[in-house]
């Protein structure tokens, strides 16, 4: 077996949580009764299935990127409903703007500290105007200037947040919240979701070129036939008629979306309602693994690359991937991962060889490895 065949597989193929089928169906059925009486806990933001995106001019001008929007933006409130309304209204502004070089929006979903911020700052150095940063920590966590002393781009980039539970609806809500915040800037054209344990393993120029050169969302969306990790999570009483079993998809949580697909996600009501009901019925609902792949598979399959750009090692099994420490991150290992072009997560060989790498980001990387990574020669990571 090849090294990459052993360590790379779709997320949570073997879940550490098991529930007998009869018990699962009973819980889902009882919860459905309550759901039909009360409905899902969704704020009354929109009406209909998707938001009708109307253009809102948004003041944004960036000499570095050569892009501009002669627009006026409304004030964005902390209120969640107001945020989503504003994000949906401003979404079409990009179509009216001159966007010579769009920005890469980095969306950090984190529990608090960002130990890899100095490494990201080095990665971003010299590319001001071509990126933006949004950080969603746990509520009440405040970043000090000392914390970002060696990572100036991160100062002041925290967004209002809510508590996030693993494999819960709140995880999905946080990701949509980050997307909504980033959509308020019409110059943001790609939206990369990362965690505090992610690191870039290519230069900014390389990463930017790969993501911007194609109008594709880098997210794998596949039919997981394994009962416990895929099709067994589908509950027809909740998802029909909006989602059939044949349309039920799974994919990695960490993705890079186009502006078009970010708009779809933030403007969605129909599918989100299903998942809100589902997470009321099922204790661990893993919505981030299913909502994005299923929504985009149904609504915009032609825009999916069906591959993720984030490398993880699932060889240990269980619900969480391997954590990489300093001793695991030799130049040889990093170059090996960079060099993979036969990507097992896509089920096919990419067409452009070394010009289309499998991986741009790597996780989970331990905080203690920061100094080791900073000490590597720039020709290893590319920065």
Q: What is the rounded CA–CA span in Å between residue 363 and residue 107?
A: 15
10 Å Cβ neighbour count for 68? 17
Sign, CA torsion 303/307/312/315: positive
- Look at 88-97, 173-182, 304-313 and tell me which has the smallest mean pLDDT: 88-97
pLDDT in tens, 96-129: 776 788 999 999 999 999 999 999 999 999 999 9
pLDDT tens per residue across span 206-245: 999 999 999 999 999 999 988 888 999 999 999 999 999 9
Band of residue 249 on the pLDDT scale cut at 50, 70, 90: very high
Please state the φ and ψ torsions of residue 105, each to the nearest 5 degrees.
-90, 120
What does the alpha-carbon distance between residue 340 and residue 4 come to, in Å, rounded to a whole number? 8
pLDDT of residue 341: 73
**pLDDT tens-digit map of 19-67:** 444 444 444 444 444 444 444 443 333 334 544 333 333 445 555 555 5
Residue pair 340/4 in contact by the 8 Å Cβ criterion:
yes
Q: What is the residue extent of each domain of the chain?
A: 36-309
Pairing type for strands 256-258 and 188-195 reads antiparallel
Classify 251 as helix, strand or coil: coil
Question: Tell me, what's the pLDDT at 319?
Answer: 77
Mean pLDDT taken over the chain: 82
Sorted by sequence, the CB contacts under 8 Å of residue 46 that are 6+ apart come out as 84, 85, 88, 267, 269
Note the pLDDT tens digit of each residue in 164-196. Answer: 999 999 999 999 999 999 999 989 999 999 999
pLDDT reading at 14 higher than 50: no
- Return d(Cα 140, Cα 300) in angstroms, integer: 37
Rg of the chain over all Cα atoms, to the nearest angstrom? 20
């Amino acid at each position: 077996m090849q090294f990459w065949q052993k360590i790379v597989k779709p997320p949570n193929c073997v879940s550490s949580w098991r529930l007998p089928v009869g018990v699962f169906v009973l819980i889902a059925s009882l919860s459905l009764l309550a759901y039909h009486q009360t409905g899902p806990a969704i704020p009354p933001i929109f009406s209909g299935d998707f938001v009708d995106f109307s253009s809102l001019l948004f003041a944004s001008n960036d000499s570095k990127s050569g892009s501009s929007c002669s627009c006026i933006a409304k004030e964005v409130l902390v209120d969640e409903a107001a945020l989503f309304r504003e994000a949906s209204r401003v979404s079409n502004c990009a179509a009216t703007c001159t966007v010579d070089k769009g920005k890469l929006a980095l969306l950090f979903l984190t529990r608090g500290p960002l130990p890899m911020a100095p490494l990201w700052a080095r990665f971003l150095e010299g590319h001001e105007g071509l990126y933006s940063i949004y950080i969603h920590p746990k509520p009440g966590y405040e970043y000090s200037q000392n914390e970002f002393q060696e990572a100036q781009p991160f100062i002041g980039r925290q967004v209002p947040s809510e508590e996030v539970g693993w494999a819960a609806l709140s995880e999905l809500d946080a990701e949509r919240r980050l997307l909504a915040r980033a959509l308020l800037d019409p110059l943001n054209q790609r939206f990369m979701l990362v965690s505090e344990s992610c690191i870039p393993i290519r230069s900014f120029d390389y990463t930017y070129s790969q993501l911007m050169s194609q109008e594709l969302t880098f997210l794998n969306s596949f039919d997981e036939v394994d009962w416990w990790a895929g099709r067994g999570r589908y509950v027809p009483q909740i998802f029909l008629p909006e989602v059939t079993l044949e349309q039920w998809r799974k994919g990695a949580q960490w993705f890079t979306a186009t502006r078009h697909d970010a708009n779809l996600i933030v403007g969605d009501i129909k599918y989100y309602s299903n998942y809100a009901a589902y997470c009321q019925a099922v204790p661990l609902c893993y919505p981030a693994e299913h909502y994005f792949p299923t929504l985009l598979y149904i609504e915009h399959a032609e825009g999916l690359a069906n591959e993720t750009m984030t490398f993880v090692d699932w060889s240990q099994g269980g619900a969480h991937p391997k954590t990489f420490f300093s001793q695991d991150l030799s130049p040889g290992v990093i170059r090996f991962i960079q060099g993979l072009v036969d990507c097992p997560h896509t089920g096919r060989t990419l067409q452009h060889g070394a010009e289309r790498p499998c991986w741009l980001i790597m996780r989970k990387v331990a905080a203690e490895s920061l100094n080791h990574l900073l000490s590597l020669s720039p020709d290893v990571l590319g920065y």
